Chain A
Amino acid sequence: MALQTGHLITELIEKLNGHPEVSQWSVVQEEKREWQHYLIQKRPEATREVTQEFYKVTLYHTHPHPSGEGSAIGFSTITLTDSDLPNLDEKIQEGLLSAAITNNEPWTLPAPAPYPDVPLVDDITLENPFGALEQFTAELFQAVDGEEGVRLSAAEMFFEEKTSRFYNKEGIEAEQRETSFLLEVVLLAKNGDSDEMEHWFVEKRRRIHDLNIAELIAVNAQYARDSIVGELPKTWKGPVVIDASQFEEMFSPLLFRCGASAKYTKLSNVSTGESFFGESAVEGEPFHASFSSVLPYGVKSYRISPEGLPGTEVAVVENNEFRSYLATKRYADYLGVEATGEAGNLVLQPGSTPLAQLLQGPVYHIVAFSAMMPNSFTGDFAVEIKLAYYIDEQGNRTPVKGGSVSGNLYHMLTNAKYAKETTFLGGYQGPTAIRFEDRLTIAGS
């Protein structure tokens, strides 16, 4: 594919190819435009338009390893803008200075490959981004107005268009266009003389119209109202159901544990073909997880990874067995495994149990944590409940908030049941909820 190239890229590539000390190189040119809209209650606080353009140039320097055995590679990424055109030689030298003093096991760069045609662009919104944000704002106001006892505290909207062009010494020349939309909404709820309580949510999609704002407000307005009457949970060690909206953060340690870089640096001990849970017996349903960068309009989807690998779906765990590392080309070469590129969207396989059955009481159903930030290395977490429901044997639901839930992601998954129903949440596709038996502790009253 021949790309539209400016003076800088043409001259840069010539210089990189001709430089005797540059053993390998790759260049990513990025152009971003962003339209931002901020609201405080119903009045606009700020409207912003942002532009950014740069070239990320990674230089590789091969030199004898200081140990005297074989060669070593060093690399450095320099960032250039058009204003650097007169100083290209100086910038390349600057990058080489860093690259020449580090020693790593050598690896190779990706070669050109067929890149999948993954839909990533919201063409409708791009016709008039500020107009689309105004329209979305009107729909947001209308939805909030329809909710009793609830008002808007604030909202922020960011719509971004990004074009990336990839080049490397192996001959890659490819382009990717994408858009993304980030929405943050804060709702306030009050009932009579009660204290006003807030509930906020964040959503990210490729296309604005993939968000049903009326539906989102209805669900979250109810959460806001329930926060007013939410009580401290009981101290509890028993079944807990967690809503899919919490999964992207909750499953984040999976990225680390399945990463080839963690394996190479001896920080992950999973091996292909072995149980993902080590010696631990799995008492619940089998766990299946993959990362897909080809999910249509997935927020982590891509045609081409930043280093030039094609988008794909990688099954990391199948039937509790570890199947594949998430590997950039570097770590794939090191471990002798297939290069998969950066992780895409989290995809979990649904189970066979309807959600209604997973919610059979007595059980705690957590719909929002204050901030789920599990430890990447260990999977441990201790997190406050923003909103949950205690469901008793008769199905009565009592809102609860506060208290903390502690557990370990990998231990939880050894006794889990997955909902039959599925959902797509931008960066996640899979069951709408998971029930964990006797693996979590709630510290409450």
Chain B
Amino acid sequence: MTTAYFQDTIATLRTFLPSLIEEMERRVPYASVVVLSTTGLRIAVDTTKESVEPNLPMVGAVITVYDGERLWEHATHDLSRDNLYRRAMALVEQALPVKSGLTLQPGEKREGHYTANALRRPEDVPLREKLEMCKERLAFAKGLDSRLSNVLVNYTEVREQKLFVDRHTQVSQDLTRLAMNVLVFATDGTTQEWDVASSSASGGFERIRISDQELELAKDNAIQLLTAERIQPGLYDCITAPYVSGLISHEAFGHGTEIDMFLKDRAKGREYLNRQVAAECVSMYDDPTVEGAFGSHFIDDQGQLASRTTIIENGILKQGIGDLYSTSLLQLPRTSNGRRESYMRKAYSRMTNTYFGLGPHSMEEMMADIDHGIYLESGENGMEDPKGWGIQCTIHLGREIKGGQFTGKIYKSIGLTGYVPELLSSISMVGSDFHLGAGTCGKGHKEWVPVTDGGPHLRLKGRLG
């Protein structure tokens, strides 16, 4: 589907959908339509091959009907008015209103179209310039050391356009997310190791940049990992770099406060609202309004305008993040977290940019009195356990600290596990720096959406293995 065709379709639907909603709501208590389009580009280059390809576009509409008990949805790639009308009428036939049913709260009137600030819109930057940027970073990185077996440079941009309409709302968004990473592989002839430098943003192309220093660090790490050992299991004094702080925030009380998990009795956090769950120095937020961040948006996939949610304040669990359905049923404040993987999936309560708040400490202060500890520098992945409050994070690289100094020794592939309140209560210092890292977040094993997580450096006690 061409961009122009999609724009024309959206223009037509802006006038058609309100009347369709009105007609559906003569039969059911609530109806809405969201039109979602993601299109984009992926560039991949390494020393042996190169490609520039459009991403698989996902363009479709979701017609939603709520009958007082259940959501009925038809999701279709066919955006013609005839098809949408026919599908909408079939849905209201299927959904018989439940007399004593609960109501969904569409909220206050909202109207508007939102686009990101950009000095250079990614769509306007010539393809060749993007390819040359990737090739230049490849050449620079590969030239750093003869032990590098290959370097993979990936650049992606995803343009997300959406229109949401219900009886109170007609909002739309046009936002492009950008990500670039450089994977550096080192070999000693028998084994391979790797490290990565990355950059991400939403909005302008000018926000994407991976510096020479970041590539040199990735090269040094990959080479050093060739001889790195696994860590001796135990409880350590740890300092977490912002990427790892983010992984903890995401897995601990990001997933743990998704309100649809409350509804399924899958999150212990529900019982702990307004109770102490972390050290007093800890605050945590989910915030889709962070300017230029990869996980930001103006509206969620249910038409809710973006705003910051305070999840933890001074160690007290304050609020969860929710979608329309779960917040309405539990009568909790609605937040801008109703997100879909694409039009093919339902909306769930999902994170956006999730991070720990700032503190007063410098890195030197955190290091000073560590007798034997580990600096957890970069993470690979993690897994949530909102019911049992367990946590699993895989740390790519850890640096040994002895007597307040780095010893130069590093460890690879470290597991950080533990009981979430114990881990968060062990946080004794919070840094004054801040960084967000991009990734994709799944709900369990599926439903991938773009997010960031991060925060400052943290000092804590971690069970490593």
Of the candidates B49, B53, B150, B263, which one forms a contact with A104 in the assembled complex, judged by CB atoms under 8 Å apart?
B49
Q: Does B437 contact A (CB under 8 A)?
A: no
Bound complex: CA A91 to CA B128 (Å): 18
Q: Does B113 contact A (CB under 8 A)?
A: no
Return the CB mask of B24-68 against A: 1 if under 8 Å, else 0.
000000000000000000000011111111101101100000000
Q: Does A267 contact B (CB under 8 A)?
A: yes
- The range of chain B's interface size is 35 or more
A230 to chain B, nearest CB (A): 9
A186-B266, A443-B463 as given contacts; A43 in contact with B69, CB under 8 Å? yes
Q: Residues of B contacting A278 with CB < 8 Å? A: 190
A44-B70, A98-B127, A200-B444 as given contacts; A267 in contact with B192, CB under 8 Å? yes
Cβ B392 vs Cβ A383 within 8 A = yes
Return the CB mask of A261-286 against B: 1 if under 8 Å, else 0.
00011111100000000110000000
Bound complex: CA A279 to CA B78 (Å): 57
Bound complex: CA A262 to CA B78 (Å): 39
Cβ A371 vs Cβ B383 within 8 A = yes
- The range of chain A's interface size is 35 or more
Cβ B70 vs Cβ A198 within 8 A = no
Q: Does A424 contact B (CB under 8 A)?
A: no
Q: Residues of B contacting A101 with CB < 8 Å? A: 52, 127-128, 131
B354 to chain A, nearest CB (A): 18
Of the candidates B46, B266, B268, which one forms a contact with A154 in the assembled complex, judged by CB atoms under 8 Å apart?
B266
Task: Mark the stretch among B167-175, B291-299, B368-376, B410-418 that contacts chain A.
Answer: B410-418
Q: Residues of B contacting A46 with CB < 8 Å? A: 70-73, 346
Q: Residues of A contacting B394 with CB < 8 Å? A: 373, 381-383
Return the CB mask of A401-433 against B: 1 if under 8 Å, else 0.
111111000000000000000000000000000
Cβ B392 vs Cβ A404 within 8 A = yes
Which of B50, B53, B74, B76 has most chain A Cβ within 10 Å? B53
Cβ A104 vs Cβ B265 within 8 A = no
Bound complex: CA A103 to CA B128 (Å): 13
Q: Residues of B contacting A56 with CB < 8 Å? A: 56
Q: Does B275 contact A (CB under 8 A)?
A: no
Bound complex: CA A381 to CA B463 (Å): 16
Q: Does B230 contact A (CB under 8 A)?
A: yes
Q: Does A243 contact B (CB under 8 A)?
A: no
Cβ A403 vs Cβ B77 within 8 A = no
A293 to chain B, nearest CB (A): 22
Q: Does B234 contact A (CB under 8 A)?
A: yes
Q: Does A139 contact B (CB under 8 A)?
A: no
Cβ B465 vs Cβ A443 within 8 A = yes
Cβ B76 vs Cβ A51 within 8 A = yes
Q: Does B285 contact A (CB under 8 A)?
A: no
Cβ B192 vs Cβ A370 within 8 A = no
B131's closest neighbor in chain A, by CB?
A101
Bound complex: CA A380 to CA B390 (Å): 22
Q: List 25 A-B contacts (CB under 8 A).
A: A36-B346, A41-B264, A46-B72, A47-B73, A48-B75, A74-B52, A81-B1, A101-B52, A101-B131, A188-B265, A200-B444, A265-B150, A267-B150, A269-B187, A279-B190, A371-B381, A371-B383, A381-B394, A383-B394, A383-B415, A384-B392, A404-B416, A441-B233, A442-B465, A443-B233
Name 18 extra pairs, CB < 8 A, besides A79-B54, A382-B465: A38-B346, A46-B72, A48-B346, A52-B60, A54-B77, A79-B56, A103-B50, A105-B48, A370-B390, A373-B394, A377-B185, A380-B413, A381-B394, A401-B390, A402-B418, A404-B417, A441-B233, A441-B465
User: Could you list which residues of chain B lie within 8 angstroms of chain A, going by C-beta atoms?
Assistant: 1-2, 5, 46-54, 56-57, 59-60, 69-79, 127-128, 131, 149-150, 152, 185, 187, 190-194, 230, 233-234, 263-266, 268, 325, 343-344, 346, 380-383, 385, 387-388, 390-392, 394-395, 412-419, 444-445, 463-465
